[in-house]
Amino acid sequence: MGGESTTRTAPHSGGGTGTAPAGGSRLGHRLSGVAVALGLVLFLGGFAWAAVSYRPYTVPTSSMTPTIDAGDRVLAERVDGGEVRRGDVVVFRDSSWVTGSLVVKRVVAVGGDTVSCCTDGKLTVNGKQIQEPYLPKGSLAENQNFPTVTVPRGRLFLLGDERQGSLDSTAHLTDAAKGTVAADAVRARVDAVVWPWKGMLGRPTGFETLGPLSQPGPLRTIGLLIVVGAVLVLGGGAYGPIAKRAGRSRARAAGTEAPGVR
């Protein structure tokens, strides 16, 4: 009526201080930054832990088939001889076996044990027949019998899993040490075959009745840290771009839905 204008402007939705920034909330950005920082710590820490605890080796022969094939790449935990248990696959150096090279074999007897073969085709340690599921299917514990050997304290008796062609303790029975190797010659214990990927070595069965077995190394924990760290870094880093895109989408939607000038 009269001179009153009929033109009205649509009210603004929300105040200038109540809306979140187009690139996401401040809290979201802070949390994403924390996620990236924590992820980097876990990721790099996992690799650092692995570098300190493990060494990679390439196994050149088939003497440990089928557990480890020729050319396989393994990760071995750094241990000393005092940590070695029956059934462990170890990396060691003994110049009386091979000059200048490392050797990978399985420990079947430790200091104080007696070991012989074969009774009913099976290895005997301390008078007990050992079930060896890691041997190739259908193979015997040894090609030929060998007499009882008493392993001196501080030494190890080692065999390959492929007994047909493995140059192991049985090939050195006439040596002064009767085929045994000093425990302090051990450099590492194999935990996993990583290339081609075969995963963690299973704990050896058959030796439980003779004493405790070694526990798995920290490789699974290290792998978990690296994976979780990578997820946090990627997720935290992706928050900003995703939040910006979501903010632009909301802004466009608000622009199309806002009432015009009437």
Q: Where are the beta strands (DSSP E) in 10-88?
A: 54-58, 73-78
User: What count of residues does the chain have?
Assistant: 262
3-state helix, strand, coil in the chain (%, to 5): 30, 25, 45
Distances in whole angstroms, Cα of residue 189 to Cα of each of 46, 79, 106, 163, 186: 19, 6, 10, 20, 8
Backbone angles phi, psi at 240, to 5 degrees: -60, -55
What is the helix (H) or strand (E) element at residue 248, kind and residue range?
A: helix 219-257
What is the helix (H) or strand (E) element at residue 228, kind and residue range?
A: helix 219-257
Provide the terminal-to-terminal Cα distance of the chain, rounded to the nearest Å. 17
User: Within 13 Å and on the Cβ side, how many CA atoms surround 123?
Assistant: 28
Query: Which residues carry out catalysis?
Result: 63, 105
- Match 């304290």 to its residue by tokens: 153
Q: Which of 58, 83, 107 has its CA nearest to residue 216?
A: 83
Please, are residues 239 and 36 in contact by the beta-carbon 8 Å criterion?
no
